[in-house]
A and B are shown apart, each in its own frame.
Chain A
Amino acid sequence: MVSAIVKKILWSIPLLLLVSMIMFGVIHMLPGNAALVMLGDAGGSAEQVQKLEESMGLTDPLYVQYFHWISNFVKGDMGTSYLTSQPVAKRIVERLPVTLELIVCSVVLAVIIGIPIGILCAVKRNKLVDYIMSTIAMIGVAMPQFWLGILFVLLFSVDLGWLPASGYVTFATNPMRHIQSMIMPSVTLALSLAAPIIRQTRSAMLDTLSQDYIMTAKAKGQNSVGIFVKHALRNALVPVITAITSQINGMIGGVFVIETLFLMPGMGKSMVDAIFQRDYPIIMGIAMVVVSCIVLINLITDIIYIFIDPRISLDSK
């Protein structure tokens, strides 16, 4: 079991290295010139640009630049923003809380909504509740996150005037306004996550409930609560966790979209801005953080599986 975990951890190292190489390559194909970006609107003579490029190391071959970047990265130095000369690490630390708050709120909300409704649909299969909830979930899956956000803005800002359409207020400035500014982004992201969780929880539960060992448990005289809690729920846990973690990709993508839509000063918005401004160090830094998080979460899920399901540890021997 320990060796399985160690193997999984070791696997993520070349994975992250490769990711950083791909990122680095892609970013340096971005059109536009970083030196020009740095010189700002005022621009500069060709000579100035040339000089700046040399001092930034942009004239070196790509692999030299990459080696330079990765060796600094390992030491914890992610470089400085071309645009603001602010260290990338500082920018990330600054913007991280906004994004984390958004993610935590929406994931917690999505799980609280998604799993019980998914279970309810499975238990009340083909009843009215199931039809209604499954239809809503199906629509939710088919809805682009930003459009759901737009509809909320239409309803709660334009029509009802209850919540601000965009903007972010820190908790320290005004706690009440802070909560108001967080509601729509979190709910939008949460609902778009809850929809696939409902669907996958439902089908995982249905699959589990049709297994032979459920019949065995019934034949033992187990009551419906016991069958549900002891046999169905725990067996459905693995697919349900898979359902939640499979949404990570979509969730992080959603963070970019939602932060852009609601103009929240988080990492997602930072990243999108940096892409448009060709601020390479920022793009690189945030991308590495994001991808590392995704890899880490997948790693943790794999380890959780080993604890839930005795068969998995055996298979990996």
Chain B
Amino acid sequence: MDIFKKLKKRKTAFISLIILGILVFLALVGNTILGIDPFETNSKIRLLAPGMGHILGTDNLGRDVLARVIYGIRISLAISLVSVAFALIVGTAIGTISGYVGGKVDSVLVLIIEAVCAFPTVLLGLLLATVLGSGMTNIMLAIGISNVPYFARLARSMAISIRGREYIESAVTTGLNHFEIITRYVLPNMSSVIIVQTSLSAASALITESTLSFMGVGVQPPAASLGVLLRDGYDYISKASWLSIFPGIAILLTVIALNFLGDGLRDALDVKIRVDN
């Protein structure tokens, strides 16, 4: 728990870790604790402005917006975390192999990585989501695939630099095979960079998810991510501004917390402070 200790020293990173903890906790059990139901419709209380009873108001079907936002955080976080985990595993594997093996394999993989990177993430996500069809798993896959090249690029450059270091040479002389060298030396040595990238990618995946949802390829009802809430709310923008505000604030808060955590991890794991003397 060395990382945790170092993080504790950095105020913003630590606070964002706490905020993230609260968000995850809310997402998991918030609605149960508060006793509100994100799916309960009530035609009598349509488009109720924020106030007593419904703190964040109600939507066009009379559903409680707070309950919907909390539910939305759950869906959005789940999608972003799973898709980044996918990208992390696949991307790191591809990048490590590419960088470690080198030669023709590397050239081909680099070309593929560069080709996929040439697509704007939103466009790639949009295409993949359309190809795979809507539904939560497919959205996760679409966002996951569009994040793979970023992890691959990073892992490749790390693998190349680690491969050239002396401790790899000495590992080779002790008779370890390539698989052992990769798992015991290469991967552990790139882990801190990858951890930082994971946190930052989770933030951008959340933004991508909400954007795709807003553009019409997202999870299907009754499931609703924060992006879906914003899309649905946009139809009522002149009557019920709260529908367009609160889900956005939830996105903002989550993304800022993830970004801060990433920055904090970067500082904590990769100390480059120069003392002037």
Q: Which residues of A contact B (CB under 8 A)?
A: 14-15, 18-19, 22, 26-27, 29-31, 138-139, 141-147, 150-151, 153-154, 158, 165, 210, 249-250, 252-254, 256-257, 260-261, 271-272, 275-276, 283, 287, 290-291, 294-295
Q: What is the interface size of chain B, counting residues whose CB is below 8 A from a CB of the partner?
A: 40
Partner of A291, one of B118, B133, B207, B256: B118
B interface residue numbers (CB < 8 A to A): 111-112, 114-123, 126-128, 130-131, 133, 203, 207, 210-211, 214-216, 227, 230, 234, 237-238, 241, 244-245, 248, 251-252, 255-256, 259, 274
Measured between C-beta atoms, what is the minimum distance from B19 to chain A in Å? 12
In the bound complex, CA of A5 to CA of B232 (Å): 49
Majority SS at the chain B contact face: helix
**Is chain A's interface secondary structure helix, strand, loop, or mixed overall?**
helix
Q: Verify A30–B131 contact, CB threshold 8 A.
A: yes
Q: 9 A-B pairs, CB-CB below 8 angstroms?
A: A30-B130, A138-B256, A142-B203, A142-B255, A142-B259, A146-B211, A146-B215, A150-B248, A250-B120
Within the complex, which residue of B121, B230, B252 is in contact with A253, where a contact is CB–CB below 8 Å? B121
Q: Are A291 and B237 in contact (CB under 8 A)?
A: no
The 10 closest A-B pairs by CB, nearest first: A253-B122, A253-B120, A142-B255, A147-B248, A18-B115, A252-B120, A142-B256, A29-B131, A19-B115, A144-B207
Residues of chain A within 8 A (CB-CB) of B227 are 144
Query: B residues within 8 A CB of A153?
Result: 237
User: Do residues A141 and B211 form an inter-chain contact, with CB atoms below 8 A?
Assistant: no
What is the distance, in angstroms, from B75's C-beta to the closest C-beta of chain A?
15
Which of A18, A144, A290 interacts with B120 by CB under 8 Å?
A290
Residues of A within 8 A of B120 (CB): 249-250, 252-253, 256, 290, 294
On whether A139 and B252 interact (CB within 8 A), knowing A15-B111, A18-B111, the answer reads yes
**Cα-based distance from A84 to B245 in the complex (angstroms):** 38
Q: Which residues does chain B contribute within 8 Å of A249, judged by CB atoms? A: 117, 120-121
